[in-house]
Amino acid sequence: MSYQYKPPAVTRAIKVIEFISQSSDAPRLSRLAREFDLSKSTLHGILYSLVEGGWLQKTDNGGFSLTAHLRGLFRPQPATARIRETAKPFMDYLAEHTNESVFLGLRDADKVVIQECVQGPKEMRISARIGNGIPLLAGAIGKIFLSDMSPSDLKQFLEANRPPKFTDRSISDLDKYRAEVEKAKKQGYALDNEEYLPGVRAVAVPIKQKGRITAGLWIVGFSSQLNEKVLDRARDKLLDAGNIISRILERQVRSAEIEK
């Protein structure tokens, strides 16, 4: 005899976990309540039961994301390792031919976690440790990940998470910041002109699989060395690298699906 009964609370919890695992951001209570057509009080109980059970965690912006343990089930490490392995030769090339540092990162809720860093050959260069996280709303790479969101989700996200004023050049106006994200989506790249760190510029591009952004690649350098002309050349090389990496990863995914 098969066991058919499924407690409503358990079924709802499973659906909530699946929805959050597929979200490009950390959805808040109000958004989840609309998505599942549940009262906030009912959903509040489900969410905090999952938090207490170690399945979900609450982010700084009040949203909910999977814990590291559960992310490992939904986003296995081999996929991350494959992205890093595929991107590394291109990062080496970019660092050598632009003389600047190149970073690879994945989004984790409200931050971008650095997966790989190749430093440029200059004595004065930008560096960061693998595993370090930078705020999602910081600089060029954040604009890239946010460009994967729908206009309505982006508007809601920015209203709930106003862009910080990291430097005098930071874009804190919501309409202007949203326009920058939309521009990045249209152009395929995003720029940071001392918006996150004084005296530092950056350009970032997406890495996509199945039409969705799964990682980001960016070049960082000091403004005194990364002038407009140099930045344009770095951008073109970065765009080419991002497109090629995306195509390689797409073929790898298709090959794996065929083998199954």
Domain ranges of the chain: 8-73, 76-259
Q: Which long-range contacts (CB under 8 A, 24 or more apart) does 160-169 make?
A: 160/28, 160/61, 160/62, 160/63, 161/61, 161/110, 161/137, 163/137, 164/135, 164/137, 164/138, 166/138, 166/195, 166/196, 166/197, 167/194, 167/195, 167/196, 167/197, 167/198, 168/198, 169/193, 169/194, 169/195
- Give the whole-number percent of the chain exceeding pLDDT 90: 44
Whether 8-73 and 76-259 share one fold: the answer is: no
How confident is residue 128, by pLDDT bands cut at 50, 70 and 90? confident
Res 257 pLDDT > 90? no
2 band by pLDDT with thresholds 50, 70 and 90: very low
Read off the pLDDT band of 130 (50, 70, 90). Answer: confident
pLDDT for the residue 73: 55
pLDDT at 67 over 60: yes
* CATH value of 8-73 in 1.10.10.10, 2.40.128.20, 1.20.1260.10, 3.40.50.720: 1.10.10.10
Q: Which of 47-61, 82-96, 104-118 has the lowest mean pLDDT?
A: 47-61
Question: What does the pLDDT average to over 169-179?
Answer: 93
Q: State the number of CA atoms in the 13 A half-sphere of 132 facing the CB.
A: 8
- Which fold, 76-259? Beta-Lactamase (3.30.450)
Statement: residue 114 has pLDDT above 50 = yes
**What pTM did the predictor assign?**
0.70
- Percent of the chain past pLDDT 70, that is, above it, reads 89
By the 8 A CB rule, do 91 and 116 touch?
Answer: yes
Confidence label for 165 from pLDDT (cuts 50, 70 and 90)? very high
Q: Across residues 160-168, what is the average pLDDT?
A: 92
Mean pLDDT of 144-148: 95
Contacts of 53 (CB under 8 A, 6+ apart): none
pLDDT at position 254? 66
The reported pLDDT for the residue numbered 121 is: 77
The whole-chain average pLDDT of the chain stands at 86
pLDDT at 205 over 90: yes
